[in-house]
Amino acid sequence: MIFLYIYLGIGFIYALYIWLFAGDPWTAIPINTIGGPINIIYQTVRAFLRRKIEMYDLFKGKRAVIFDLDGTIIDSQPFQNQAIDAVLEEIGAGWVSRDYDHGLNNLERWTHLLHTNPSINTKLSPEELENRSKSKYLELHAEVEALDGFWTLARYLKEKGFKLGLATNTDRDVTDVVLKRLGADQNVFDAIVAGDEVKKRKPSPEIYKKTLKLLGVRAKDTIVFEDTIVGSKASTGAGLATVIIWDGVDEDTENFPKNTYFFLPDFEGMPEAIEKSMKQQLEEVAKELEAKGTGATP
């Protein structure tokens, strides 16, 4: 990306030279030398705004939080990959590389794999392959743990009176098993919507609109936690401010839609960040240090 910006910057300088010194009319300037700098300015402003807002400001006045499941609350991707690899081996296609986009559900993954690898010799449909990998996934992911800080954040939000929702592309039968293993029952989430309970899965905003309706809240009163571009397109498409739980590997932050924030590895420290602004936290630390210094004076 940095090389692209350098290229566009050089193009802008070239455009200025044509306009100011070469005597050519401005209509002779290639469009990319104008669009490039505009894009750079846009991306710079966008990145600045993303980082300027604090969690404290984002949560101010909010009444509900909706979580995605896979990749957000739990790190299920390694088990999903192992399950698909196992099924590929079973059908004699262990040589196939998993080159699908992050954020696709299992049916979409199998449809993609069969389409891009026509030499796979199987009579099984994408739906049948999905069911096999689903069973294998549940077999592999026997012990389900939440990402660091999730339970602390969930308890904090419940104590503060927030409504909690879950919106996942995963089918309901798998979702129920995973939540049971996680220890997250109806006492945790006030509404749960699974991928097979809507007509269109993410990136369609339908699943988030349905979750909002079940929670009885408006989009402007709600925050979402997501982990993928597909998921964040769904949440922002429903008008929801979205915090990204990001592994730092799978997807470029610049490709996420606007109205997405932070790109954090987990939920650690979020209650404190929601409760108090950075300025308030720093002032408290300064007071504590001052008190310790005063106490140490003879």
Identify whether residues 84 and 71 lie together within a single domain. no
Q: Are the C-beta atoms of 140 and 181 separated by less than 8 Å?
A: no
Q: What pLDDT, on the 0 to 100 scale, is given for residue 287?
A: 79
Q: Are the C-beta atoms of 68 and 40 separated by less than 8 Å?
A: no
Q: Does residue 103 carry a pLDDT above 60? A: yes
Question: What is the average per-residue pLDDT within 159-187?
Answer: 94
- Identify the band that residue 38 occupies on the pLDDT scale cut at 50, 70 and 90: low
In the chain, the number of structural domains is 3
pTM of this structure: 0.79
Sequential DSSP letters for 153-180: HHHHHHHTT-EEEEE-SS-HHHHHHHHH
Place of tokens 């050089």: 10
Rounded Cα–Cα distance for residues 18 and 28 (Å): 8
CA geometry: angle 103, 214, 176, nearest 5 deg:
55
Question: What is the average per-residue pLDDT within 104-123?
Answer: 90
Place of tokens 């990306």: 1
Identify whether residues 127 and 236 lie together within a single domain. no
Q: Are the C-beta atoms of 112 and 100 separated by less than 8 Å?
A: yes
Residue 225 β-bridge partners: 67, 243
Helix (H) or strand (E) holding 54: none
Contacts of 248 (CB under 8 A, 6+ apart): 263, 265
- In 3D space, the residue among 92, 66, 14 whose CA is nearest the CA of residue 193 turns out to be 66
Rounded Cα–Cα distance for residues 16 and 26 (Å): 9
Q: Looking at the domain assignment, is residue 282 inside a domain?
A: no
Identify whether residues 162 and 133 lie together within a single domain. no
Give 46-55 pLDDT, tens digit per residue: 554 455 689 9
Q: Which domain holds residue 30?
A: 2-49
Q: Are the C-beta atoms of 264 and 246 separated by less than 8 Å?
A: yes
Q: Does residue 109 carry a pLDDT above 70? A: yes
Domain of 229: which CATH number?
3.40.50.1000
Give 187-241 pLDDT, tens digit per residue: 899 999 999 999 999 999 999 999 999 999 999 999 999 999 999 999 999 999 9
Q: Looking at the domain assignment, is residue 134 inside a domain?
A: yes
Identify whether residues 155 and 214 lie together within a single domain. yes
